[in-house]
Chain A
Amino acid sequence: NAGVTQTPKFQVLKTGQSMTLQCAQDMNHNSMYWYRQDPGMGLRLIYYSASEGTTDKGEVPNGYNVSRLNKREFSLRLESAAPSQTSVYFCASWRGAYEKLFFGSGTQLSVL
């Protein structure tokens, strides 16, 4: 049982380049989330998807777009990367209320 699979694990981009972070879960969860983690900032919610076909902005959505391709997959796209987007990105999925979040292993992204 793979849980939440997140790719890539590491990525280096130049300012202005674009890329997509992929996330897939095999637990049949309805809700999926994208967080970023910067030193001293905890986890900040970028976007979430409460169910297939819906997406909503979180605390820090600027500079990002998301796609809930199907129930399994939730991708995060940086259209024009900026150094301020250097961070560790986590995808998570969740069955719903009164359950715990399941996290992917994270993506270390550096934008030069």
Chain B
Amino acid sequence: EDKVVQSPLSLVVHEGDTVTLNCSYEVTNFRSLLWYKQEKKAPTFLFMLTSSGIEKKSGRLSSILDKKELFSILNITATQTGDSAIYLCASYNNNDMRFGAGTRLTVKP
């Protein structure tokens, strides 16, 4: 059965720290992996990754995919309190989009 596993499930850091969030997947007919940030309501899109080894960056956030080892990481540098959220990864396999349980990140001042 297809599955997406995120770790850690929760993380508490202080402002200025760098964090790495992990996402591993076992998905048949894998096509792409997506990262979302969820604060109070619906998830908002961060990145889509389809090719191994190509880093996607947006400000202090970056992400990379390893299709051989079946995982992706999301890095956040110089964290701010506004980065506090649930970070979700999802895999697309030609039919549906499956999500992991999410990592709850708390950034303390």
**Which A residues fall within an 8 A CB radius of B?**
33, 35, 40-45, 48, 50, 56, 58-59, 90, 92, 94, 97-101, 103-106
Contacts and interface: CB of A to CB of B under 8 A. Distances in A.
A61 to B, nearest CB: 12
- Chain B: number of interface residues, binned into ranges: 20 to 34
Contacts of B43: 43, 90, 101, 103
Given A33-B97, A43-B88, A101 B41 contact: no
B50 A56 contact: no
B45 A50 contact: no
Given A40-B9, A90-B42, A106-B41, A98 B48 contact: yes
Contacts of A104: 42
B69 interface: no
13 contacts: A33-B97, A42-B6, A42-B102, A43-B43, A45-B96, A50-B95, A56-B96, A58-B96, A98-B50, A100-B48, A101-B97, A103-B43, A106-B41
A60 to B, nearest CB: 11
A59 B48 contact: no
Given A42-B6, A101-B34, A59 B98 contact: yes
Contact of B99 (A35, A48, A98, A100): A35
Given A98-B50, A100-B48, A42 B99 contact: yes
Given A98-B48, A101-B45, A106-B42, A45 B98 contact: yes
Given A50-B95, A56-B96, A100-B45, A41 B101 contact: yes
Nearest to B50: A98
Interface string B79-105: 000000000101010111111111000
A97 B90 CA distance: 13
Given A101-B43, A105-B42, 10 more contacts: A42-B6, A42-B102, A44-B99, A45-B97, A97-B32, A98-B32, A98-B48, A99-B48, A101-B36, A101-B90
A94 B99 contact: no
Contacts of B98: 45, 59
